[in-house]
Amino acid sequence: MPATAPRQDHYCFIIHDNLPYCYDINSILALPTGFRYRNRFNAPWVEPNLHDNIGAMMGADVLVVLRVQKNNHLIPVRWGTIQVAQQVGSIYYFEYILGDLIRYSQKSADRANEISQATSLFSDTHAWLPGTPGVALGVTEPSVFRSVVGQRLTKESAEDLTAWGNSVAAVTTANIYERAEFLKILGLFDLKDRPSAVHEEHYVVRSNTVYQLRVFQYVPVPGTAPTVTPHDIDLATFSDHFVQLRPKQRAVGKYDMLIFVLKTRRLPPRERSAIEIPHNPAPEGSGVYAPGALYLPVITTGRSPYAVLVWILILIACLVGMFKPSIYHGDETVVRNLATVILILVISGWRTTLDALFPVLPWQAPK
């Protein structure tokens, strides 16, 4: 693979193509950049020199790697940044913010060569890799370790759908993914096709606004069956935060673009919520595995500091008008009444007040 600019030392998490852990890769590839995922490893799988200071891994980069045991291949998949590294008895638990993908070519022959090169890079750097063909890494062959291999790998934006498809193609060289379903969260878009920003692991949304959640569904290796069994892909939200027009989509083939339509209710600034695509068990006898639940935290936009300042100044002006109306050099009764009305509007919100007084007027129309 072509080399990129050098990175600092990083950590590697190797995920074997064993059931059910191999399906972590589905979720790792599905989630957008900036969202969180987790892995856990028994103590023998963690490099011994990391045991006594596991917290030092926090803030470091991590490279998630799939190990295909039959072919003895190592397939780097995606970068992340470790946020949680803690010991729970004999278990080490990690959470990380997902970042870029590892770049793979579109041609299968080139991809096969890139996988072989990546495996050789690991073998040249770490004596125990890639391990024994057909056998999981053992007690003396850690799956969590410090490395520099990532310095030699080219990365690609996880929001690039072509790059995502190439990564899926690389991963599905493992036979375990035959008839497995992969989802890709493309983003949350308003009706003007503006994408919601991702901030601090949340999609940022506006109150009382219609959105489309776009999800690409793909079964890259359908196997010998002539068709993929139709099945539902659902969307779950808090009912007091969202109204769902299309909470369920029917996946009827190997690939499709699924669009879920939902509308935020009138929510206060900085209100936290979430969207989830839950796990649906595979249809009986279909062989298709739906990946684990995909969790997308959401937060509504907050008020700008300038808006807060204006709100405070208006509030002060209203209080002065109510208790010291003579300052404004007008009819004191008019000033006091006007200040009272404005104070009510400021405290309760002008839209809420107008909706209550005139419920059929245009400001009731949804955005």
3-state SS, the chain, equals CCCCCCCCCEEEEEEECCCCHHHHHHHHHHCCCCCEEEEEEEHHHECHHHHHHHHHHCCCEEEEEEEECCCCEEEEEEEEEEEEEEEECCEEEEEEEEEEEECCCCCHHHHHHHHHHHHHHHHHHCCCCCCCCCCCCCCCCCCEEEECHHHHCCEECCCCHHHHHHHHHHHCCCHHHCCECEEEEEEEEECCCCECCEECCEEEECCCCEEEEEEEEECCCCCCCCCCCCEEEECEECCCCEEECCCEEEECCCEEEEEEEEEECCCCCCCEEEEEECCCCCCCCCCCECCCCEEEEEEECCCCHHHHHHHHHHHHHHHHHHHCHHHHCCCHHHHHHHHHHHHHHHHHCHHHHHHHHCCCCHHHCCC
Can you give the pLDDT at residue 5?
39
Pick the CATH number of 182-302 from 2.60.40.10, 3.30.1360.120, 3.30.390.30, 3.40.50.970: 2.60.40.10
pTM of the full structure:
0.82
Can you give the pLDDT at residue 6?
40
Can you give the pLDDT at residue 138?
80
User: What's the mean per-residue pLDDT of the chain?
Assistant: 88
Name residues of the chain where pLDDT drops below 50.
Answer: 1-7, 363, 365-367
Can you give the pLDDT at residue 365?
45
